[in-house]
Amino acid sequence: MKWITRGMLLWCLVLTACAASKPNFGDEFERSVKAYNRLLRWREIESAGVTYIDPERQDQFQKQAESLKKRGITITDYRIISTRYLPEKQTGNALTEFDYYILPSSRIKTITYPQEWFYRENTKSWKLTSGLELFE
């Protein structure tokens, strides 16, 4: 009887280890969406671009980021309205809203920023394919 109990315990440990080692793409997607938008909110646009933008779109993103800085845009808040993860395609969509102002005005404006994401197998990370929305 002891051997059966030990065998079952060992089997449970093996199953737990296997389950823990498999990446949960949905959770990783949610973390990436939150981290990217948080970086934008706290004016870490270059870090957001380097970390989360598809390498093929890096140049365009950096130009957009530079434009935001030159125009004095300050993001005051953001909200992730919805996220949708499509496991069969390893893609996801997020819809966010940003509150911002452009100096010298103190009027708060809001934009909706739809985001399209995909999972890159070679880097084992989520990347954004949509660029920065242009703040008016």
C-beta neighbour count of 70 within 10 angstroms:
8
Q: Are the beta carbons of 112 and 96 closer than 8 angstroms? A: yes
Q: Residue 134 has what DSSP assignment?
A: P
Which of 29, 43, 50, 119 has the alpha carbon at shortest distance from 78? 43
Predicted pLDDT at 25: 82
Banded model confidence at residue 131, pLDDT cuts 50, 70, 90: confident
Q: Nearest Cα to 74, choosing from 118, 42, 115?
A: 42
Average pLDDT (22-35) is 88
Residue type present at position 80: I
Q: Is the pLDDT of residue 136 over 50?
A: yes
pLDDT digits (tens, 9 = 90+) for 71-118: 999 999 999 999 999 999 999 999 999 999 998 998 999 999 999 999
Map out the domains of the chain with their CATH numbers: 24-128 (3.10.450.50)
Mean pLDDT, the chain, rounded, equals 86
What does the pLDDT read at residue 19?
44
The total of other beta-carbon atoms located within 10 Å of residue 115's CB is 21
- Is 16 a residue whose pLDDT tops 60? no
Predicted TM-score of the model (pTM): 0.81
